[in-house]
Homo-oligomer: A and B are copies of this chain.
Amino acid sequence: MYQVKELSQWGGVSIRTLHHYDQIGLLKPDLIGENGYRYYGDQSLERLQQILFFKELDFPLREIQAMLDHPGFDRQKALRAQYELLQSKKNRLETIMETVKETLLSLETGQKMKIKEMFKGMDMQAIEAHKEKYAQEVEERWGHTPAYKQSQQKTAHYTAQDWERIQARTAAIYSQIVAGMGRGPADPEVQAAIADLRQSFCDYYYDCTPEIFKGLGEMYVADERFTAFYENIQTGLAAFLSQAIAHYCEHLPG
Which residues of A does B touch, CB under 8 Å? Answer: 10-12, 45-46, 49, 52-53, 56, 75-76, 79-80, 82-83, 86-87, 89-90, 93-94, 96-97, 100-101, 103-104, 107-108, 115-116, 118-119, 122-125
A124 CB contacts on chain B under 8 angstroms = 12
The 8 Å CB contact of A45, one of B11, B52, B82, B115, is B115
Instruction: Flag if B83 contacts A119 (CB, 8 Å).
Output: no
Give Cα distance in the complex from A245 to B49, angstroms.
58
Could you list 29 A-B pairs, sorted by A, with CB under 8 Å? A10-B115, A10-B116, A10-B118, A10-B119, A11-B119, A11-B122, A11-B123, A12-B119, A12-B122, A12-B123, A12-B124, A45-B115, A49-B103, A49-B118, A49-B119, A52-B122, A56-B96, A79-B100, A79-B104, A80-B104, A83-B97, A83-B104, A86-B93, A86-B97, A86-B100, A87-B97, A90-B93, A90-B94, A90-B97
Give Cα distance in the complex from A90 to B119, angstroms.
19
The prevalent SS among residues of A at the interface is helix
The 8 Å CB contact of A107, one of B10, B45, B76, B101, is B76
Give Cα distance in the complex from A214 to B119, angstroms.
43
- For the complex of A and B, list the 3 residue pairs with the smallest distance between their C-beta atoms, beginning with the closest: A12-B123, A12-B122, A86-B97
Give Cα distance in the complex from A104 to B115, angstroms.
42
A53 CB contacts on chain B under 8 angstroms = 96, 100
